[in-house]
Copies of this chain bind each other. A is one copy, B any other.
Amino acid sequence: MPVFTRNEYLERIGKTKSMMQEKGIDVLVVSHPANLNYLTGYDGWSFYVHQCVLVSVDKEEPIWIGRGMDANGCRITSFLKNENIYEYADNYVQSLERHPMHFVADIIKKYGWANKTVGVEMDQFYFTAQSYVELQHSLPQAKFANGNALVNWVRVVKSPAELEMMRRAGQIAVKVMDAAKTHIRPGVRECDAASKIVEAQYAGTSEYGGDYPAIVPLMMAGEATKTPHLTWSDKPFKKDEAVLLELCGAYKHYHAPIARTIFLGENPPQLMKDTAKVVIDGLQKTLEWIKPGVTAEGIEAKWREAIAHSKIVKESRLGYSIGVNYPPDWGEHTISLRSGDKTVMQPNMAIHLIPGIWYDDVGFEIDASIYITETGYKAFYDYPIDIIYNK
């Protein structure tokens, strides 16, 4: 059973078709798992083989194309009619003779689209260089266009039903950070704490079962606080070390990321306290300023202004758009809060602000997962924006 109504999927497909027409694309080959899910409801861990959804401007429903064994999964999870589900044989999988894009080209020919303009997601993982080469060879009459992030941009403004999924994800995020707070203690192995965090992620709340987030728990302790994106080891946490946490609650593949820093003692180094104060204060000043009409780069400029009195410089972007996603990223690959991104904030856009600091001598992370309202913003969860002290 798909998560949303047939009407909601058709509305999303309608918006996709409008954007295709603006770009002169007749048929869009959608490869990103989050875009497959967004347009059809399809939800399976089958994205390690080639699969796609075809959206044509002159056909109401999209067409799902995947590996034979996954077609029943599509029948169960998507809203698509059976006639729009096509399966390729298993000897296309990781073969040196056959490529799944040959099969995709055959379907495109079958529908009479072989001489149309075919859009592909040029820079999305899951659409490989070989996919592009094979599709071009198999469709010599077609014109190819870059449809990269086209569906991602349709996803940028969330529907009320999507925001509800994200609020539920926010409720789960609170339980996830609470689990981290309970279990990250001196003497506990990092892997044991990670196991309790992920347990909270999957269990969710008594009302809303959790889902797997697009990124596993990220956990940097001690020396590793000078970098993001590491996972756990089997070493125990030590007294008086800091632990950076990038975690998330997820519901039906919708994300509410949550990042905090735990200090395992009572007296963090002065540099960490000072850094935390600047970052927290800067984040709060930035949040207060957010409302419809401001731009992505404006938000980042506000942040830079708010911390200008300090020595802190953040080279990397301040945040990005979030919503439905699959591994390897919960970021939407659309809006980036940084200089040059002139996207205007509109109600129902959802943003993750994460002013992470990873210096050689100090690391600190804190965040906010929010959406834009008619007058300002609302957070997906309410969790103290401060250092967590665990003695």
Contact = CB atoms under 8 A, between A and B. Distances in A.
Contacts of A340: 91, 95, 97
Contact of A336 (B72, B89, B94, B317): B94
Given A125-B125, A328-B48, A93 B203 contact: no
Contacts of A356: 69
B228 A73 contact: yes
A315 B199 contact: no
Interface stretch (A10-18, A186-194, A277-285): A186-194
Interface string A68-92: 1111110011000000000001110
Interface string A222-258: 0110111111111000000000000000000000000
A198 to B, nearest CB: 5
A329 interface: yes
Q: Is the interface of A mostly helix, strand, loop or mixed?
A: loop
Interface of A: 43-48, 68-73, 76-77, 89-91, 93-95, 97, 99, 120, 122-133, 148, 189-192, 194-196, 198-204, 208-212, 215-216, 218, 223-224, 226-234, 315-317, 320, 327-329, 331, 333, 336, 338-340, 356, 358, 360
Given A73-B230, A76-B223, A120 B128 contact: no
Contacts of A69: 227-229, 315-316, 356, 358
A131 B69 CA distance: 30
Nearest to A68: B315
B231 A89 contact: no
Given A45-B218, A191-B203, A198-B198, A129 B125 contact: no
A209 B46 CA distance: 27
**Looking at A47, A48, A224, A315, which has the most chain B CB atoms within 10 Å of its CB?**
A48
A215 B45 contact: yes
Given A72-B226, A211-B231, 12 more contacts: A45-B218, A45-B231, A45-B328, A70-B227, A72-B360, A76-B227, A94-B333, A94-B336, A123-B128, A124-B128, A130-B148, A199-B199
A93 B329 CA distance: 13
B192 A229 contact: no
Nearest to A94: B333
A302 B195 CA distance: 40
23 contacts: A44-B231, A45-B216, A45-B231, A46-B229, A48-B329, A48-B331, A69-B358, A70-B227, A72-B226, A73-B228, A76-B223, A76-B224, A91-B338, A93-B336, A122-B133, A123-B128, A127-B128, A129-B131, A132-B133, A191-B211, A195-B199, A195-B201, A196-B199
A95 B335 CA distance: 10
A232 B209 contact: yes
B199 A90 contact: no
B122 A125 contact: no
Q: Which 9 A-B pairs have the closest CB atoms?
A: A209-B234, A191-B209, A48-B329, A129-B132, A123-B130, A72-B227, A195-B202, A195-B203, A90-B316
